[in-house]
Every structure is written in structure tokens, then in C-alpha cells.
Structure 1
């Protein structure tokens, strides 16, 4: 299917944003939806401290540890792909309600698991929910947010993710320190996940559907009612008029075959895949999943590493607040280039410190911890928020669920490959070789961002769609 000339060739003239109850309503919606991000973060981070007591109780070895850890991640790849398509068909809100139920069921299975097999089943269920949330929540927020503050609204999901990871690290440290002598302590760590799952389900029952999804299905009155709840009346009507022009021009969902037949849609899909995979190949989730193991390798005792592991979680949350402040002030490309430059430098420094400071040197664990904290801070401030915001806004409406689903599918596959191989990689290459390898991949990512990634900040989703359809989005922007 060829892409016809788009009806929106220039940025639509919209009334300016104004304060009022609609702004508070948008804030409430974003908080409730971000419970999906909180669950994403907690379920991916809790394994960091739960893995060792779980392995000791159930007799897991290196391979089965890797399977338990990575099963969630590979399932998340499938969940991302299916969740994106389901949200296009059934609606963003409906899918978020279903994901809340899946989070709860997965938690129950995992907590009750008597052995390896059901442990993997529980992790797979949680992975499907995590993957679905990773695609649906950013799209839901981006489609509700006005373009002037879309970065800071969509970016709240990433802040929720790292807050969930920090919560997991703190819960692990507290429970491990107070109840670590008891059998099954890891089950308590996992059980905490049920609370935000309940909050997400109860909250989404009162939240609206995405107005852009409603407009794309001809449900004009419902879309306008939702927009009027989160915009001033004049702004809501003008914004819906632009959405309606797109919806009238392109109806129905777009197939993958149609995307691949279009030069520009194919290219924007590859850009989305590349951005998502590049983020994962920094190795950030190797730290989030195996941070305690890395710190033990650097010279900390197991108990000290469990407590020290909270530091990267804290800096991730602080970096998230800085990132939200920057998202509507700094171009996406600039943010990504700074981020990959800093993380690559941190990789080189971690590798060098591990090589120059011999095991047994009292300074070695603290220097490596400081550099790991700097790496996580750089990731969160300049990359993690920017990547998720970018993926939520780059795809046209008809392929948005499909596009972000495929991009995040590739993102999770890269994540899973690292989760499965990192223990072996660390055992074979040590900290030095592993982080030098990450540095080499970071240099390639920098080249990709500099040459292939177009700018998206400061544009409505509809105007971006017009420029993608014509290929203008890949031309240098003049400010």
C-alpha cells in the first residue's frame, strides 16, 4: 500500500496551553498509567537481590539462574509485540487493565512456585506483562499529552520504571537484612509486586481511553470529551480537528507488509529498532539485574554489595528528575548523543579501573562502585527517558502500536541476550573485558545516532506524521 500525500503539511496552529483543572486531570492520568512503569521496574529489578537466596533454596546453577533471569526478558519481547498490536485493536486503556491482571497472576504463580519449572512460568507471565506495559504506557501518555510538554509527560513512565527498580533494591536490602536468615525470603521480595498491580487495575477503571485511538475509529464525540477533560475547550477542538484530518486520510490499522513497502515508514521503523537496541547494548540492565554480582566481583562482600546496590538505584531516580526537566528544553538527538558519549566514557573508566586496581586493593570496590553509579546516572539523565519518549512519538498513528511493538520487541531481545549471557561474559572476560566490549558497542551507537536519527521535539504527533510520510523528517531541521 503506497502512502499518499499527507493532508497536514505544516505545523497546525493551536491555541496555547492554559492552566486549569484539565492540567490536574492530565497529571492524575499520568500517575495512574505510570503504575505500569512502576511494575515494569520492580519486576525487572527485584531479581537483583532475590536471585542468590532463591538459588540457594531451589538449587539453581549458573545456567538455570540465567534462564530464570532472562525468561522474563524474552517473554517481555513477545509481550511488547503482542501488546502493541492489541492496543491498536482494543484500545490503550483496555490493554492496560488486562496487563494489571496479568501482573497479579504472574506474581501469585512466582511466589507459590515450588521449583524451577513454575518459577520460569511465573517469570514468563510477568515478562509478558512487562513487555506489554513497555509499549502501551508510553503510547497512552504521548497520545494524551499536548506536544509542548509531551516529553515530560511521556518521560514520567521512565521515572516510574527506575523508581520501581529503586523500590526493589530498597525492599531487597531491608528484607534481606532483617529476614535473610529465613527460608523463602525471596518470595516476600516478589510478593510486594502485587500491590502496584492492584493499584493499576483500580486506577485504570476510572481513566479515559486515548483520544487519538478513539478518533482513528470514528468515535469523534468520545474523543472530544476526553480532550476537553485534559485541555481548555478551544484547544481541545482545534487539536481534535488536526487528529480528524489524519484519521479521515488514513483509516484502519496498518500491516507490517504495508510498512515495509513504504520507503520512509520502513526507514523510521529501522530507526526505532536501532534506538531501542542501542540503549540495551550499553549493558544498563546487566547492572540492574546483576549489580550485586558485579559489586561482589569488584571486592565487596555479599551483604555489603546488597546495600551498596541501592546507590545506582538512587542515582537513577535523581537522574530521571533531571531528564524530565530537560526533555522539553533539549533536542532529542542532542540528548542521545550526550548520553552515549558519557556512557561510553564510563565503560572505558570501569574497564581501566578494574585492570589497574588489583583484586584485594581496598580502593578497588569503591572506585568501581563510583563509576557504576556515574554510568547509571548518565544513562538515566540522558538516555533512558529520551529513548522511551522518542519511541512513543516517532511512529505515525496507524502504525504506532505495531511500530513501537516491533522496536521494543527488538529492545527486549537485546536485553534478554545480555541477561542470559552476562554471567558467562563476566566469568570469561572479567569486569575489564566486559566493559571494554560495552565501550566498543557504544562508539557504534554514537555513529548511528549522529547519522540516522531524526529530531522529533517540539512537533505535534500529526505534524511529525506528515513529515515521515513525505520523508522530510530525515532532512536537517532549521530553527
Structure 2
């Protein structure tokens, strides 16, 4: 088992967080540059979300699409992204994290070209599929890459760059869509230009890839210790800390290499109890982030804004920017506090706030609705000139929100974005990538992202049918509010705190906590509680020698 009496083992558990920081993050240009460039792969997804708010209506007119085909265009990208995650895990393990980022860029560029020059509807859908595969690859490899190149004291802040990048892309897409819409170009030229500009971001990333190093932890798994040391020395700026980190990584790899290669069956059904718990944790994180309907709220925000009275282009732009800023600003705030406040509190509090907001939206639709005549109902439900999701706001009885409730809907929508982005959005990927040992990390992030994108796609593709089946938006929000209650209970029960610990220390700690349970090979002298209060704090564990370890 893990002996807490020996100095070497204490160093293994301590990792980077017990080492002095040689220089501030502000002067660590290589770390900042690598994290920023790699996280830009996520901005393409954000741009697609933002730009489709304006492009989908133009595409409908250009190809004379019905609602079903239009919804396929809107929702297919995230559904296909689930299967893109299956490419990334194997590729990142075999060819490295950097090469997989390059693959992501290639898929983005090819998919964007197919969409921008699509002569038919089927080619356009093919472009969405290829781009979706790129999104899936990015969702796996980017958080893993950033996690493996950053020191523990700033890992939280830099890993959240991935989700911040998504929201910057959304805001950029909203603004770009507005600017192109008010030009004198034809409708077809407008949507082709909108979609074509989505290739700019991956081109920037591809051009900068030569300046990015490979993950030092992946290099170590391939026996390239000298290259790994050079990368760590560049990032950490201190020879002593670099060698200490190399020792920790080498020790973790040696322990994992003592076991045979991890198969998918072994990943999902490991013999060790601590690995079973980690597997369920990362899959749960991916599931609950999207199971509360966040993707529906995001993709159908345009309809909410239009129903709130933002019919003109200028008003709609202001509405889009408001929603985008409400989603972006909390992400930036989280970057500054996640390494001080912790991962667990942000996830729990965010989930509680989202639950309250969803129920508030449901109540708003129940108690404050106006009536529409039959002609308006036909426009909302059948007109091809409206967005395919135009009927979301029309209840089964033909009612829509009044002007008063429409304003409240907009405010609650912005509030929802704030609360989601304050924890569940960015911290999900950080916690998932930190919780897994190196041997599990690629397959773990693949599974987490596959479940996340699959749930996202299902929610986006079933929003209209769910709304209709449950009697309108009130039933829709009551349903997802109930789901969110269960999700909040899950976060409070199962999410651990990983703040301020090196990846090797987290692995050793998890193993020590669950060693000695049925199925484990090694007894443990210490078993500390993994789950506690909202803050995730745990008492010091008596080591028998008068020394304690702060878990």
C-alpha cells in the first residue's frame, strides 16, 4: 500500500503543489501561449452556435427546407460530435496530444469548406457531420492537453480557457452574423460567408501548432524523458522543480505500466474499486452538464429573444450580445477563483442556481401568458420563414408569453447563462480531466465527452417534441427542472475536490482512499472520506505517528 511514513511517498502525494513556484504565471509565456492556442479549437463550436442563429433562416430559404430538415442542420453537429470523441482517445494515445489537435483543425477546415460551398442540402449536412467530428475531437484532446502541460497552482484557471473559448466563439458568431446580415449581399451569399468564416479560427490554430510543445506526460509514456524535461523546464523555469515533477511522472507511469494495457472493458469494469468510482464520476460529469437542457436553452435562445419583442436586427444583436456576455463574464470570473474557491463548491452552487432558474421559467410560462389567434398560431408552427424552433414558445393551447413575462423570460435566460457558466460549464471538464490517473485519462475523457455530446445532441434534436408532448414550454421547463434536482443531488454526493494537487498526487490519494475495499489488491492504512460538505473539506486523518495529511 501507500506508506505515509516514508519521505519519498509523501513527496509523491504532494506533487507540484508542495514545490516553490519559481516564477509567476504572468511571466510564463510558453504556458499561456500553449493553453490559449489549443483552447481556440473550442471557439469553432461556439462560433457555430452563434452564427446559426442568423444563418439557419437564410439556409431554409435557399434550399426550401421544412422544419425537420432545418432541425437536422441545427442539431446534427453536436450529435455527431459524440462519435468524434471516439476518434480522439485512440489518436491522442498513439500519436500524441499535439497531433490530435492538428487532426481537429483538419476536420474543422474540411467541414467548413463543405458547408460554405455546399451545392445541395445533403452536402451541407455532410459538412455538418465532418465539423461535428472535429468538435468531438476537440472536446477530448484539448482539456487533456492543457491539464498535462500546466502546473497545479494554475491548472484550474488555464483549463477553463477551453469553455471560455466556446463562449468567445458564441459572441463572435452573434456579432459576425449581424454584420453580414445588414450587408447588401444576396441571401445565399450571406449564409455561405457566415459559415465560411468558421474556418478562420482552425487556420490560426494550425498555423501556430509548430510553436506548441507535446505534452510532457505523453512524452514520458513514450520513453522520451529528455524531451519531456525540456518542455517542463521551459514551462516551470526551475531545474529542481522540473526534476521533481519528472520523478513523480516516472513513478506514476511505472506503477501503471506494471499493469497490462487498459482495454475498454477494463476501463468500464475495472477490478479496483477506486477506478470504478472514477469511471462513474467522469461519465456522470459529462452526462449531468447537458441533461438539464442547457443545450436547448442555448440553441433556442433566438426564439426567446424574438418573442420578447426583439424583432429588429439591432435589438436582436443587443439581445444576443447580452446573452453572450452573461455566458462569458462568469467564465472569466471562474478562471480567477477556481484555484482558490475550489471545483466542488462551484459545481454544486451552479447546479442549485440553474435548478431554481429552470423552475422559475416554468412558473413564468404557467402564470403569465397571453393568447394568440389562429393565424398567429399557424405562423409560429408552420411558416418556413421562421426558425425551425419557432413554435417552442407556443404552448399546446396556442398561448404565448405576454409582454411582461417575455421580459422576465429574457432576464431568466440571461440569469441561467450566468449560473451555468459559473460552474457547470467550465469546471466539468477541469474536474473530469484532473480526477483520472494517466492510464485512464484518454479513455476517460473520451467517455466523458461522448456522453456529454450525445446527451447534448439528443436534447437539441428532441426539444420541440418534448415541448409539444408536455403541453408547452411550462411542461418542458418543469421536466428539465426535475432532472436538474436529481443532478444537484448527484453533484453534492459524488464530486470530490481536486484543487491544488498535482495529477500524480490526486491519483495516489484516490488509490489510498479506496484501497482495501473489495476488489482492490492493496490494503490501506488510511481511508479518508471522498465526499463531504459543499466545500468538499475533510478532517485530517490520523496517521498513527502524530502526523496528519490534509485531504
TM-score (norm 1): 0.94
Paired with 2:56 and 2:317, the residues of 1 have a C-alpha distance of 11
**Any idea what the Cα deviations from partners look like across 1:24-69, whole Å, max 9, x if unmatched?**
2111111111211212321343222221211122122221122112
- Could you say which residue in structure 1 is the equivalent of 2:396? none
- Contact 1:455–1:473 (8 Å) recurs in 2: no
Deviates more, 1:72-81 or 1:219-228: 72-81
Paired with 1:117 and 1:391, the residues of 2 have a C-alpha distance of 36
Q: CA deviation at 1:416?
A: 0.5
Q: CA deviation at 1:244?
A: 0.8
- Could you say which residue in structure 1 is the equivalent of 2:304? 294
Paired with 1:448 and 1:129, the residues of 2 have a C-alpha distance of 30
- Contact 2:48–2:198 (8 Å) recurs in 1: yes
- Contact 2:58–2:187 (8 Å) recurs in 1: no
Residue 264 of structure 2, aligned match among 252, 256, 270: 256
- Could you say which residue in structure 1 is the equivalent of 2:406? 365
SS at match of 1:437: helix
**Any idea what the Cα deviations from partners look like across 1:285-315, whole Å, max 9, x if unmatched?**
2122221123334554374446522311111
Q: What RMSD over aligned residues (CA atoms) do the two structures have, in Å?
A: 2.1
**Any idea what the Cα deviations from partners look like across 1:253-275, whole Å, max 9, x if unmatched?**
52222221323212211111111
Where does 1:65-464 land on structure 2 (aligned, <5 Å)?
Answer: 65-179=70-184, 182-232=187-237, 233-251=239-257, 253-259=261-267, 260-262=269-271, 263-298=273-308, 300-301=310-311, 303=313, 304-305=315-316, 307-359=318-370, 361-428=402-469, 429-464=471-506
Question: For residues 426 and 300 of structure 1, do their structure 2 counterparts lie closer, same or farther at Cα, with a shift above 3 Å needed?
Answer: farther
Paired with 2:413 and 2:437, the residues of 1 have a C-alpha distance of 37
Question: For residues 282 and 134 of structure 1, do their structure 2 counterparts lie closer, same or farther at Cα, with a shift above 3 Å needed?
Answer: same
Question: For residues 394 and 473 of structure 1, do their structure 2 counterparts lie closer, same or farther at Cα, with a shift above 3 Å needed?
Answer: farther
Q: CA deviation at 1:387?
A: 0.8
The size of the alignment, in residue pairs, is 476
SS at match of 1:301: coil
Residue 13 of structure 2, aligned match among 10, 30, 33: 10
- Contact 1:57–1:184 (8 Å) recurs in 2: no
In structure 1, stretches of 5+ residues that fail to align are none
In structure 2, stretches of 5+ residues that fail to align are 371-400, 515-526, 532-537, 540-549
TM-score (norm 2): 0.82
Higher helix share: 1
Larger Rg: 2
Q: CA deviation at 1:22?
A: 6.4
- Could you say which residue in structure 1 is the equivalent of 2:518? none
Structure 1 stretches of at least 4 aligned residues deviating more than 6 Å after TM superposition: 4-7
- Contact 1:44–1:289 (8 Å) recurs in 2: yes
SS at match of 1:130: helix
Question: For residues 309 and 332 of structure 1, do their structure 2 counterparts lie closer, same or farther at Cα, with a shift above 3 Å needed?
Answer: same
